[in-house]
């Protein structure tokens, strides 16, 4: 096991395109770190630079106490699991898992021990004699993970390993990989564009966009205390409602003005953003902080319901007021009485809202 430290990492391609902009990040020994962000944000490029599969243009990468900039991938103490499994079709499961050890001229006894130990951990003991074409997608992915385990690496690197699996199997594999991390206590770096995967698996999450780190924190801190508008909008499903507005002072009370809607801020929030009165801001509130139950503490908005999506224990209600659209997550006991096309009184619980500076998009309400 080892920590991984990135200092000033940059990636510039020959055509001049700068994909990674001076990333600084320390991944702790034994930590499960998830890189998450939209397609093209350079999360996989960053992972490949750690692996040595992509040259860095600037900065240093250290694994453990060793700078690895000029060390080839095979000598970095890492093992990588790819999106497409990359199994040898003509080899059995056992042979696929043993292949890297054979290349290193490991003894047959040691190979057999390591392969069988990994197979037991991953519940692959019954399929060791099968070939990849005889396996399910989940089994193939576990073989790819097993091939990494037998190498006993200091760091595991996962590049969107579950994206080819169906939804039910992805949930199952998420749990298995989390359990595997607890068993091995290894440093793991995991790339995904799926924020649900990131939230459920990571000890910490590194949110990336356009080759820059937007925020690094625990899943719950990212969700409840987003440092900026991008993180707020990317983490959470359905996404946070974010709309342009203005902070106004009305008889000593601060409110957010959005079109014709005025939402009074509680004193605790108002005190944090009072220096922005009269300025444009971005107003954000999560769907679960909008409901239909009467509350004197909440700001009231009469909106027209456009669509209701019933999800079982809850419903997503899409509504509009004066051209401003918003999404509410409503408990099923309340949503059963709502009707599309009708006006409805919605309660905005403003103690949970977020205010972002209009230009820098930094959260000024924390």
DSSP string, 51-72: HTSS--SEEEEEETTEE-TTS-
Calculate Rg over the CA atoms of the chain: 25
Query: Residue 286 phi/psi, 5° resolution?
Result: -75, 150
User: Residue 311 burial (CB < 10 Å; 0-12/13-18/19+)?
Assistant: exposed
Start-to-end Cα distance in the chain: 36
Question: Which pairs from 91-96 meet CB under 8 Å and 24+ separation?
Answer: 91/131, 91/132, 92/128, 92/129, 92/130, 92/131, 93/119, 93/124, 93/127, 93/128, 93/129, 93/130, 93/131, 93/132, 93/135, 93/143, 93/146, 94/119, 94/128, 94/129, 96/132, 96/143, 96/147
Residues paired with residue 347 on neighbouring β-strands, in sequence order: 291, 300
- pLDDT value for 30: 96
Largest CA distance in the chain: 82
Residue position matching structure tokens 């962000």: 37
pTM for this structure? Answer: 0.91
Residue position matching structure tokens 């991953």: 122
- pLDDT value for 163: 84
Taking CA 353 as the corner, what is the angle to CA 245 and CA 322, rounded to the nearest 5 degrees? 40
Tokens of 107: 């003894």
Q: Residue 279 and residue 293: Cα distance in Å, rounded?
A: 32
- pLDDT value for 172: 86
Q: Residue 275 and residue 17: Cα distance in Å, rounded?
A: 38
- pLDDT value for 238: 93
Taking CA 198 as the corner, what is the angle to CA 197 and CA 200, rounded to the nearest 5 degrees? 65
For the chain, list residues with pLDDT below 50.
none
Domains of the chain by start residue, with CATH:
4-234 (3.40.50.300), 241-357 (2.40.50.100)
Q: Residue 228 and residue 240: Cα distance in Å, rounded?
A: 12
pLDDT tens per residue, range 37-65: 999 999 999 999 999 999 999 999 999 98
Half-sphere exposure at residue 335, Cβ-oriented, CA atoms within 13 angstroms: 23
Continuous segment of H or E residues that includes residue 233: helix 229-234
Three-class SS state of 27: strand
Q: Which of 39, 29, 58, 22 minimizes the C-alpha distance to 189?
A: 29
Q: Residue 312 and residue 265: Cα distance in Å, rounded?
A: 32
Q: For residue 301, give every residue at least 6 positions away whose Cβ sits within 8 Å of its Cβ, in sequence order, or none.
A: 261, 263, 321, 326, 345, 346, 348
pLDDT tens per residue, range 89-143: 999 999 999 998 998 889 999 999 999 999 998 889 999 999 999 998 889 988 9
Instruction: Report how far Cα 7 is from the mean position of its chain's Cα atoms.
Output: 22
How do strand 204-209 and strand 187-192 relate by DSSP bridges?
unpaired
């Amino acid at each position: 096991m080892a920590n991984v430290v990135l200092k000033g990492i940059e990636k510039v391609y020959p055509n001049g395109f700068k994909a990674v902009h001076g990333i600084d990040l320390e991944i702790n020994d034994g930590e499960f770190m998830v890189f998450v962000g939209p397609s093209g944000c350079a999360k996989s490029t960053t992972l490949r630079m750690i692996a040595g599969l992509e040259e860095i243009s600037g900065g240093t990468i250290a694994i453990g106490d060793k700078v690895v900039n000029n060390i080839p991938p095979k000598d970095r103490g890492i093992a990588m699991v790819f999106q497409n499994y990359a199994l040898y079709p003509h080899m059995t499961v056992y042979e696929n898992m043993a292949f890297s050890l054979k290349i290193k001229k490991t003894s047959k006894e040691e190979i057999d021990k390591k392969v069988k130990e990994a197979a037991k951990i991953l519940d692959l003991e019954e399929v060791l004699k099968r070939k990849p074409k005889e396996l399910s997608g989940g089994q193939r992915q576990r073989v790819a993970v097993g091939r990494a385990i037998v190498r006993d690496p200091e760091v595991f690197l996962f590049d969107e390993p579950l994206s080819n699996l169906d939804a039910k199997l992805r949930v199952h594999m998420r749990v298995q990989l989390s359990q595997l991390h607890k068993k091995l206590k290894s440093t793991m770096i995991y790339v995904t564009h799926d924020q649900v995967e990131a939230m459920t698996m990571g000890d910490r999450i590194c949110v990336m966009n356009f080759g820059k780190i937007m925020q690094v924190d625990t899943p719950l801190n990212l969700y409840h205390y987003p440092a900026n508008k991008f993180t707020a909008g990317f983490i959470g499903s359905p996404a946070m409602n974010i709309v342009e507005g203005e902070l106004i002072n009305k008889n000593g009370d601060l409110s957010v003005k959005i079109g014709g809607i005025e939402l009074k801020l509680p004193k605790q929030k108002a005190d944090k953003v009072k220096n922005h009165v009269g300025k444009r801001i971005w107003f954000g509130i999560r769907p679960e902080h909008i409901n239909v139950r009467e509350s004197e503490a909440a700001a009231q908005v009469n909106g027209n319901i456009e669509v209701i999506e019933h999800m079982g224990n809850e419903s997503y209600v899409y509504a509009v007021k004066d051209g401003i659209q918003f999404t509410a997550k409503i408990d099923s006991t309340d949503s059963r009485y709502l009707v599309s096309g009708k006006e409805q009184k919605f309660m905005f619980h403003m103690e949970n809202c977020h205010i972002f500076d209009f230009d820098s998009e930094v959260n000024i309400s924390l």
